[in-house]
Amino acid sequence: MHLVLELVTPAGAVPVECDAVLFDMDGTLVDSHACVERKWRAWADRHGLDAGAVLRAAHGRTLAGTVRLVSPGLDLDAEVRWLTRVEERDTTGLRAVPGARALLAAMPAGGWAVVTSAWRRLAEIRMRHAGLPLPPVLITDDGELPGKPAPDGYLAAAARLGRPAGRCVVVEDSPVGVRAGRAAGMRVIGVATGAPAPDADWVVDDLTALRVRVPGRP
């Protein structure tokens, strides 16, 4: 399968040829900022931690990865269970990132995937609540693969789609996600809804700046 992503810029459209597009979810497809911030602020208050520092550490990381990083002395399993319950129950403010619905509707089946630090149940809750289709390939944090910034999730998505890693484009909003895509040998589009690392190949404000074409398809 051959795709052309077009990045709409003030100077015109920049074509990016690829075989598949691999999306992050939170901050890239789904605006979950309010939910995520409420959860981590509540957790930080429970343990007397600096909420700002916790939020900075959590961006793009798994629950377990964040807890290990900011407070390694806590009971990891108990904290992850608490965080999981809080997050699955909170859908207030969840919405699609501008341009996400139109872009995913134009993606051909088998030409895209989602790679997220969320677990499967949460990913499905958020995608559905935001009115977005579930992807043909969904790579989640279910304990089988190292989390971002390791490249394993993106490499697994490419393999399940049957696409060479070097022919995939990653769309990410976090520094650790951009690093994961780059480590997988993929080109990366940073979405400025978050704080993408400066080493993204391109940066767009949101998904309204992206279009997809399938050569030969009307």
Does 155 fall in a domain?
A: yes
Whether residue 129 lies inside any domain: the answer is yes
Same domain, 101 and 175: yes
Mean pLDDT of the chain: 92
Paired residues of 4 in beta bridges: 17, 213
Domain boundary among 45, 61, 89: 89
Is the pLDDT at 23 greater than 80? The verdict is yes
24 is catalytic: yes
Residue 168 lies in a domain: yes
Whether 218 is in a domain gets the answer no
- Is the same domain home to 84 and 190? no
User: 19, 24, 31, 141: which is the annotated catalytic residue?
Assistant: 24
The domain in which residue 59 lies consists of 33-89
- Which one of 26, 31, 141, 173 is the catalytic residue? 26
**pLDDT (tens digit, 9 = 90+) per residue, 68-109?**
999 999 999 999 999 999 999 999 999 999 999 999 999 998
* pLDDT over 90 (residue 189): yes
